Structure 1
Amino acid sequence: MRTLKAVLDRSLTAQAIVIFVLGVGVYALIRRDTSPVLWVVQSALITAMAVGAIAVQRRRAGRAAGTDARGIAELNRKIRHRDVPRDPRERAAMGRLVAEQLGRMERGGRWLPYWLGCMGLIAVGLLVLGITTGSLVYPLVFAVGTVAFCCWVMWMRRRAMELHRHMRAALEGQG
């Protein structure tokens, strides 16, 4: 499992393969009545957009930290494990990466209540539609899934912010 995680952390190609396979599987489950060629085409489009977004994010993080994709993956692993590097160059790169990621999370936090509110409104709207049409199972499942997803997003954001703040304090304390 660690090897798979490391490969997915470092390889954009491996991430693209996983996204593509999952996309084809989801389209096959959702759109059984359409052609498998359409599943593949739609999954390829989604994969291309996702890989493009990931590549832009990696390039931005690499420029901010002054390292390549492998270096970013290694620095992120060290952040997750609260491992402060000893090498001054690696410490400087980690400090820049932590500052960039923490700033991005703090800036994104301004919009988080609006996104969560929008998701809540969509879930409530689907519940109301389900009640009026008499089909409550799918809207209820979607609403529970939406609430679970929002809780997971909040938990992951809080955990990531705590990790980055800890790492920033550790880097400033030892530097």
Structure 2
Amino acid sequence: MRAVRKWFKDSPAAQTVLGFVLFAAVILSLNWGHTPGWWLVKLGLYIAISVAFAARRRRRDAEAAGTDTATLKSLERRIQRGTVPEDPQERAAMRRLVLHRLDLMSRTRWSVPAFSVMLALVAVLAAVTGDWAVAAVFLAISAVVTGAMVWIRRRAARKLHHLDDVLGRDELALRH
């Protein structure tokens, strides 16, 4: 099981395959009346858009850290584990990456509430049309997804703030 988890963490191809399967399940559940060819076209479009966004984010993170994508992958692993590199150049790149991500999180505070409101609106629209079962399901889904998103965001912010403190102290210790 560990090998599979590591494969999914380290391989964009594995993440794309998982995204393909998840998107396929969602598209199949929402579009029963269409042919499988139509499902595949929609699925390919959604996957292409997702991969483009992920590649753009990775490029921006690499630019913010002042490093290449291979070093960025190493820094991301270190951020997940909460470890600080020994090399001063890697430490500086990690500090820039942590500050970039904290800045991004502070600028996108509105995203979780906005997404939650959109999910809740689907439930409200279903209730207005009289489909109470769908409304209840979407309300439950929106509560679970919102809770998960808040938890993930707080956990990431805590980890990034901790690394910011540690990297900042190391930087100050090197100056004196």
Q: Same fold (TM over 0.5)?
A: yes
The one-letter code of the counterpart of 2:55 is A
1:3-152 to 2 correspondences below 5 Å: 3-109=3-109, 111-112=110-111, 115-116=114-115, 118-119=117-118, 121-123=120-122, 125-126=124-125, 128-129=127-128, 133=130, 135-152=131-148
1:32 CA displacement: 2.5
The one-letter code of the counterpart of 1:99 is L
1:82 CA displacement: 1.4
Which 4+ residue blocks in structure 1 deviate beyond 4 angstroms? none
CA–CA separation in structure 2 for the residues paired with 1:101 and 1:69: 16
CA 1:85–1:65: 2 relative to 1, 3 Å: same
Structure ranking higher on relative contact order (CA contacts 8 Å, 6+ apart): 1
CA 1:25–1:120: 2 relative to 1, 3 Å: closer
1:97 CA displacement: 0.4
1:117 CA displacement: 6.0
The 8 Å contact of residues 120 and 139 in structure 2, kept in 1 or not, is answered as no
The aligned counterpart of 2:168 is 172
Across the two proteins, how many residue pairs are aligned to each other? 171
1:85 CA displacement: 1.3
The one-letter code of the counterpart of 2:162 is H
CA–CA separation in structure 1 for the residues paired with 2:29 and 2:112: 32
The normalised TM-score by structure 2 is: 0.85
CA 1:5–1:72: 2 relative to 1, 3 Å: farther
The 8 Å contact of residues 127 and 143 in structure 1, kept in 2 or not, is answered as no
Range that drifts further, 2-11 or 162-171 = 2-11
1:128 CA displacement: 3.2
1:124 CA displacement: 5.2
The aligned counterpart of 1:161 is 157
The one-letter code of the counterpart of 1:166 is H
The 8 Å contact of residues 116 and 146 in structure 2, kept in 1 or not, is answered as no
Q: Return 5+ residue gaps in structure 2 as ranges.
A: 172-176
CA–CA separation in structure 2 for the residues paired with 1:119 and 1:79: 31
The normalised TM-score by structure 1 is: 0.86
